[in-house]
């Protein structure tokens, strides 16, 4: 069974969103997604300043099995990318919810997070 932290929101495409009180959010891929992909070998992320629409592809995660697009779970502007993933893409396998966050977004509308799945709903989707 996958690890599904209750304090996050989830997209059906297997990304997570952790909203902060200041209207920013961290984005990454779920434990289920990294487990399905296998050993991650490369992560491609957007440039800081990129404006993303909800559901829009913002990058690629490559593994020994496949290359998969990664989608924005909510609309916003990229404030920061996790540069540590350039040299250590395997962090996505080791710590998908902590060290391997991918983006920090300034959300266009923090209420958009309400449209995402709860941990319980995401668990039902992936079980």
User: pLDDT (tens digit, 0 to 9) for every residue of the chain, 127 residues total?
Assistant: 568 999 999 999 999 999 999 999 999 999 999 999 999 999 999 999 999 999 999 999 999 989 999 999 999 999 999 999 999 999 999 999 999 999 999 999 999 999 999 999 999 999 8
> Would you state the pLDDT for residue 67?
94
> Would you state the pLDDT for residue 7?
95
Sheet strands (E) in the chain: 9-10, 15-19, 24-29, 40-44, 51-52, 57-63, 67-71, 76-81, 103-107
DSSP annotation of 47 reads: P
92 neighbors 43 (Cβ within 8 angstroms): yes
Which CATH architecture is the domain 9-107 placed in? Beta Barrel (2.40)
> Would you state the pLDDT for residue 6?
96
Shortest CA distance to 61 belongs to which of 89, 35, 32, 83? 89
Q: Is the pTM of this model over 0.85?
A: yes
> Would you state the pLDDT for residue 90?
96
> Would you state the pLDDT for residue 95?
96
> Would you state the pLDDT for residue 33?
95
């Amino acid at each position: 069974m996958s690890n599904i932290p209750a304090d996050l929101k989830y997209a059906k495409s297997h990304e997570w969103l952790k909203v902060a009180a200041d209207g920013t959010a961290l984005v990454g891929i779920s434990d289920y997604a990294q487990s399905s992909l296998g050993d991650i070998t490369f992560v491609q992320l957007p440039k800081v300043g990129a404006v993303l629409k909800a559901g829009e592809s913002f990058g690629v995660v490559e593994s020994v099995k496949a290359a998969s697009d990664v989608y924005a779970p909510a609309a916003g502007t990229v404030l920061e990318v996790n540069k540590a993933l350039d040299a250590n893409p395997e962090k996505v396998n080791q710590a998908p919810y902590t060290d391997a966050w991918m983006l920090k977004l300034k959300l266009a509308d923090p209420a958009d997070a309400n449209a995402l799945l709860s941990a319980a709903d995401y668990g039902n989707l992936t079980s």
